[in-house]
Amino acid sequence: MTIAGEPSFRESVDMMFRRATALMDLGPGLQEKIRVCNSTYTVRFGVRLRGKIETFVGYRSVHSEHMEPVKGGIRYSLGVNQDEVEALAALMTYKCALVETPFGGSKGGLCIDPRKWDEHELEQITRRFAYELIKRDLINPAQNVPAPDMGTGEREMAWIADQYARMNTTDINAKACVTGKPPHAGGIQGRVEATGRGVQFALREFFRHKEDAAKANLSGGLDGKRLVVQGLGNVGYHAAKFLSEEDGAKVIAIIERDGAVINDAGLDVEDVRQWMNSHGGLLAEYPRGTYMIDGAKALELDCDLLIPAAMEGVINLSNAARIKAPLIIEAANGPITFGADEILRAKGCVIIPDMYANAGGVTVSYFEWVKNLSHIRFGRMQRRAEEGRSRILVEELERLSNDQQLGWQLSPDFKEKFLQGSDELALVRSGLDDTMRTAYQSMREVWHARDEVQDLRVAAYIVSISRIAKTYQSKGL
Ligand code: NAD
């Protein structure tokens, strides 16, 4: 989406990059090498559908190959264009460096309204798009590994994996050519909700640092915080669901493409989602809230936390001054334009930037890729051994208590939890939590250490650009 009077998405990302590099000592050559997008492949292909040939336009952009494979989602939307995939590929490079997943950045997109086509047609289109990318190594376990993004999910990833396997019958690592697959097709537990879960972990870490929350004039934890979420798709739904069901946050408004529903007493996210599922994806007439047809207006509601989780550019020069939230977490990529970012910062709004906030997806994708390459589920070797060791300890403690007549007993709840070895989902969550905490701490260190670093976005860019620069320097570029 290009907004009148504003830089394009890619220009906006570049301008944010330059705000950070102005505070770094990189040398102009290296700086330029890191910033530019290495290549963008455009493909136009035909698929025979409903008796005629339909032509589709798709892209796969590779921003940086300082580490390979490169990684980044494939988006299905009518808004897809070269500028957008290049901006998203650049964000992937910075994101991967920030959360220390060993990938370069890439992104793909197909210019399509997926709601216009039935499942079989979408499969034909996806397989043909994948064929075009696979034959050019733009999908390959060692070189370029896509994942889901807006408009795509497990289903599309399974088709892509199968298409790759058909074209590479002897590649033992074929499953690692794409992540976000369903668990029965080589996926990993916890990938579907990973980005939303990452948003939750990011916010928990933010509120753990009282002085950071104080910068947004907030205190306490997430409990009781009033939040507005835009986009009840994969990312927005999971983030809002976990924050309300597990952390006590109150979802006072949900914004979707056909409007917003508002309820000051709090909305039941699951209930709203069920309603949308059974009403063609629409919010209108949802009975347990007030419907507002101009959904974007709800971004301006008085709340503690705003979660844009739909698309880029939604907070821009036209509405930034009216945004009241003191804290915004960018669950979507690029929801705040460069100009809006300046306005919000001047008002004292704290922004948790996209490259960190939505990195949960690529983090768990990394776990899935490792799982596919190692051909074994996480926890399969250790889980029962872990349980066995815990059992020895519990039995010994109980024996001591009996022998010495100490009269104490372990509570059944403790025993049950302690005796349970970690399965794949528990390990994925633990790895994701650790990643989100560590990355936040690396950002905040830079944020607090240097006066000229006034916000988390610049801090995030500094951390990731420094890491990418080190990789280039050690390669002797
Ligand atoms: P999705 O397609 O599952 O959901 C997007 C939702 O936003 C849909 O429900 C759609 O109806 C809604 N929407 C679209 N336009 C809207 C508008 N103008 N106003 C309000 N709602 C609107 O997509 P997703 O995977 O949840 O991705 C959302 C954002 O998160 C994108 O920016 C994407 O790049 C980013 N992201 C996704 C992942 C992931 O793992 N899926 C990872 C990182 C970042």
Q: Where do the H-state alpha helices sit in 347-455?
A: 354-357, 360-374, 383-403, 412-418, 424-449
Gap between the Cα atoms of 142 and 65, Å rounded: 12
pLDDT at 386: 95
Going by C-alpha positions, the residue among 364, 381, 356, 359 that lies closest to residue 428 is 364
Query: At which of 167, 185, 203 does a domain end?
Result: 185
Number of other residues whose CB lies within 10 A of the CB of residue 58: 24
CATH number at 206 reads: 3.40.50.720
427 with 316, same domain: the answer is: yes
C-alpha R_g of the chain? 23
Contact indicator for 252, 301 with CB cutoff of 8 Å:
yes
The answer to whether residue 473 sits within a structural domain is yes
Are 346 and 208 contained in the same domain?
yes
> How far is 459 from 73, CA to CA, in rounded Å?
24
Q: Is the CB–ligand 1 distance for residue 62 below 6 Å? A: no
Residue pair 290/284 in contact by the 8 Å Cβ criterion: no
pLDDT score recorded for residue 82: 97
Residue 409 lies inside a defined structural domain of this protein: no
Specify whether 244 is located in the same domain as 338: yes
297/372 same-domain check: yes
Distance 231 CA to ligand 1 centre (A): 6
Q: Of 185, 213, 241, which one is at a domain's C-terminal end? A: 185
Extract the tokens encoding 467.
């890491």
The structural domain count of the chain equals: 2
From residue 39, alpha-carbon distances to 36, 60, 406 in Å are 9, 9, 71
CA 263 to chain CA centroid, nearest Å: 27
- For residue 164, the number of C-alpha atoms closer than 13 Å in the C-beta half-sphere is 28
Q: What is the pLDDT of residue 287?
A: 95
From the CA of 75, how far away is ligand 1's center (Å)?
10
Q: Is residue 15 a part of any domain in this protein? A: yes
Residue 281 pLDDT: 92
**Is 107 one of the annotated active-site residues of the chain?**
yes
Question: Does a structural domain hold residue 407?
Answer: no
Ligand 1: does its nearest atom lie under 6 Å from the Cβ of 235?
A: yes
Residue 169 CA, ligand 1 centroid: distance in Å: 34
Nearest CA residue ID for atom 38, ligand 1: 149
CATH number at 104 reads 3.40.50.10860
| φ, ψ at 110 (rounded to 5°) | -125, 130
Does any ligand 1 atom lie closer than 6 A to the CB of residue 195? yes
- Cα(308)–Cα(319) distance, integer angstroms: 14
Same domain, 305 and 332: yes
Are 77 and 134 in a shared domain?
Answer: yes
Same domain, residue pair 335 and 460: yes
Exposure b/e, 207-217, CB count within 10 A at least 16 = b: beeeebbebbe
Whether residues 296 and 433 fall in one domain: yes
3-state secondary structure of 106: strand
The finding on whether 332 has its CB within 6 A of some atom of ligand 1 is yes
User: Which residues are CB-contacts of 332 (< 8 A; sequence separation ≥ 6)?
Assistant: 230, 231, 235, 308, 309, 310, 311, 312, 314, 354, 358
Sheet holding 39-49, edge to edge: 39-49, 52-64, 104-111, 70-77, 144-148
**Residue 139 sits in the same domain as residue 201:** no
Residue 206 DSSP SS3: helix
Domain end among 185, 219, 250? 185
| Residues 6 or more apart in contact with residue 285 via CB below 8 angstroms | 279, 291
The verdict on residue 416 lying in a domain is: no
Q: Which of 149, 200, 228, 276 to mutate to test the pocket of ligand 1 (most atoms within 8 A of CB)?
A: 149
Domain housing 73: 39-185
Nearest-atom number in ligand 1 for the CA of 77 is: 2
Whether residue 50 lies inside any domain: the answer is: yes
Record the pTM.
0.96
Residue at 404 is within a domain: no
> pLDDT by residue for the chain (477 residues), tens digit each?
556 789 999 999 999 999 999 999 998 899 999 999 999 999 999 999 999 999 999 999 999 999 999 999 999 999 999 999 999 999 999 999 999 999 999 999 999 999 999 999 999 999 999 999 999 999 999 999 999 999 999 999 999 999 999 999 999 999 999 999 999 999 999 999 999 999 999 999 999 999 999 999 999 999 999 999 999 999 999 999 999 999 999 999 999 999 999 999 999 999 999 999 999 999 999 999 999 999 999 999 999 999 999 999 999 999 999 999 999 999 999 999 999 999 999 999 999 999 999 999 999 999 999 999 999 999 999 999 999 999 999 999 999 999 998 888 899 999 999 999 999 999 999 999 999 999 999 999 999 999 999 999 999 999 999 999 999 988 876
> Which residue among the candidates 71, 95, 107, 175 is catalytic per the annotation?
107
The single-letter code of the amino acid at 100 is E
For residue 3, which of 335, 324, 381, 379 has the smallest C-alpha distance? 335
Ligand 1 atom at minimum distance from 152 CA? 2
Q: Which residues are paired to 60 by β-bridges? A: 41, 108
Q: Using an 8 Å Cβ cutoff, are 160 and 73 in contact?
A: no
Q: Which region holds residue 224: left if phi is over 0, alpha if psi is between -120 and 50, else beta?
A: left
402 lies in some domain: no
CA distance 333 to 75: 12
Is residue 186 helix, strand or coil? coil
Residues 349 and 427 in one domain: yes
Q: Is 105 in the pocket of ligand 1 (CB under 6 A)?
A: no
User: Based on the domain organization, do 376 and 460 belong to the same domain?
Assistant: yes
pLDDT at 85: 98
Q: How far is the CA of 425 from the centre of ligand 1 (A)?
A: 24
Written as one string, the DSSP assignment of 111-144 is: E--GGGS-HHHHHHHHHHHHHHHHTTTSSBTTTE
Helix (H) or strand (E) holding 59: strand 52-64
- What is the position in ligand 1's atom list of the atom closest to the CA of 296? 19
Q: What is the C-alpha separation between 265 and 226, in angstroms, rounded?
A: 10
- Shared domain check, 32 and 57: no
